Structure 1
Amino acid sequence: MQKTIISFICAAGLSVPACAQGFTYGARNTDFPPAFPEQFRAPLIDSDVELRTEVLADGLVNPWGIATLPEGGGWLVTERAGRLRHLAADGTLHGAIEGVPEVLAERQGGMLDVVLAPDFAESRVIYLTYAKPLSDGSATAAARMTLSDDMARVEGVEDIFVQSPPSQTAAHYGSRILPLPDGTLAITAGEHFTEDQRQYAQDLDKTYGKVLRVNPDGSVPAGNPFDGSPVWSLGHRNPQGAAIDAAGDLWTIEHGPQGGDELNRPEAGKNYGWPVISYGQNYNGSPIGPAAAAEGFEQPVYFWDPVIAPGGMAFHDGEMFADWNGDLLIGSLNPGGVVRLRLEDGMVVEEERLLMDLGRVRDVEILADGSFLVLTDYPDGEVVRVTPEG
């Protein structure tokens, strides 16, 4: 009912206060002290910006990823059920694009992220991540393909990454994919949740709980830290967001267990600790490990307890909301809405909660004018455009 009311407000073009819920952080699950003051619970602010929301499309089944097409061509949107759709700039939502890979659409599995190749205007190449069904389970996979001029089908589908080994648990796939400034691709892969599988996040011969760096054809680039391996960094849990900042650095965000969601800036060869250390605890209340810091493991730039259950994220840039340029906008699945972080010198200095009445936000896409789109993760999901009121 709440989602229906908010959808009506948005469709009517009425404004929603930036932080209508009067949010407070609430009680922690663990009592591990932060490693440095800026790592936890930055000052909560209310920027007093009134947000205007407009539903561009509804009726999407758990939309997961979105990519902006050039020259006003609209957007590509994935549905976790296994579809890729074209949403035109005028709001027309076209039928399923043919030729996409078969997916395992169970629990957290399905069609996941979508991104355009940097040379898309000439090559028509796109990349998808998805839960690939295999004879002995499923795996996070990334595929390269060519989108037809009429956007009705894809051709030449070729996997450029398939996680190994397969898992029988349809959870914690990751997975975002995005081009890096040097022409390679970053792919995030989760560790499939169960206690025995999560240990694989520490194993270099397995691609669970990793950030991967590959060439556009899937080969291993020069400069990767482990010879012949696509692994860029390890010790991640379930990284479902990734973004590049203005300096060209990669940032990721990952789900913790009960507490312990993390914002990281993954560096080559570094180990981010899961499941040896964590600022969260198991869902039954038992500890993950004896501490949240240990020698040989990197600390997150920032963590949350309680969680925000992060989805996709993006660095803001544009004329609209110009005061937020350089800030991170992060989709939150629980408690919902958008989390805005201001960073200075690589540290989080303030946090704001926006649009919490929208509920589960799976992805955020910044548009050229500074307005932004959010995807709401429901069986009747929406693409919502956000602009400043007035």
Structure 2
Amino acid sequence: MKIAFYAPFKPLDHPRPSGDLTTALGLTRYLSRHGHEIAVASRLRARELASRPLLWPLAAFEALRAGMGRADVWLTHHAYYKSPDVIGPWASRRMGIPYAVFQGIYSTKRRKTPATRLGFELNKRSLLAADVVFSNRRLDMENLRRLLPEERLCYVAPGIDPGAFTRDAQAGAALRASWGAASRPVIASVAMFRDDVKSQGLRYLISRLGGLERDFLLVLGGDGETRAELTALAREHLPGRALFLGQLPREELRAVYSAADLFAFPGIRESLGMVYLEAQAAGLPVVAFDNGGIPEVTRPGETALLTPPFDDAAFTGAVESLLDDADRRAAMGRAAAAYVREHHDAARNFSVVEERLLALAGRRA
């Protein structure tokens, strides 16, 4: 099966890592490994397309060019009001092939604001044109049901390759030695240092952990425009208790998780948070806010302690309770690794997408 692939939000080779890019790469690699051809139909980044009229002629040209291709099915990844797919519906119809969307998002509140109304309508148009919309968030599924019938919707649980993050005790011990951690408890956190809710969450984490009067080492993986600010904040609140690792290749995160005792990141309005799956796969209990998609990628009370957002006492109390109890950390870590293997194995979950696309391509043939 030849798949015309388009990612309006962020192309597959975008240099800045993120959860949605991780999902897109995982999905396309899975399909490629199972014998399907992924043909990138367009690299046009449609972010804020509705408010950038200079992009509209280019989008029209890309739709015309893409529609001259040949494929068995069209697959768009991550379409929503900020990056609507204005290419796929037209091009797939011209090619005479089914049109599918993975991670389609429908938010009706965006039609109420003039600044977002056009993007909302363009996104709605693409979703209505889809033969199937896959979603990896249950909240998004609820919203999509207001627009599309159940037979055109498909839930796919978020997933990773659990084997890529299995705990490596030897690599973890080597990293701990290089950090001078010795027997100090290590708290890991991984996020992009973007000047948005990511950095807001890191500020919260650093400042609140600074109130714990005990020894530990907070290890932060990631980089971005707020690094200088966050480093200064750590010097103020966590002198001698914070280590910044910079941006790391994803394959190096396994050793970082393996060197830690728990994973903590608030995840303010976190859509899903692939890092929570990675950390749990490496046998780490998680501390985070009980919001967004985080409950969908953890098992609260068994693999993670989720607290009300911005409840300082609850959040620091959850961290401290795990620092105090090595046996509980170990038990939750074992449960976390088993949970990810059982429910969030990307190979198993992406097979649902493959089967549905094959069915669409077969129906067309």
The TM-score bracket by the shorter chain reads: under 0.3
- Higher strand share goes to which structure? 1
Task: Choose between structure 1 and 2 for higher RCO, CA contacts under 8 A separated by at least 6 residues.
Answer: 1
What TM-score do you get using the length of structure 2 for normalisation?
Answer: 0.24
- Structure with greater Cα Rg: 2
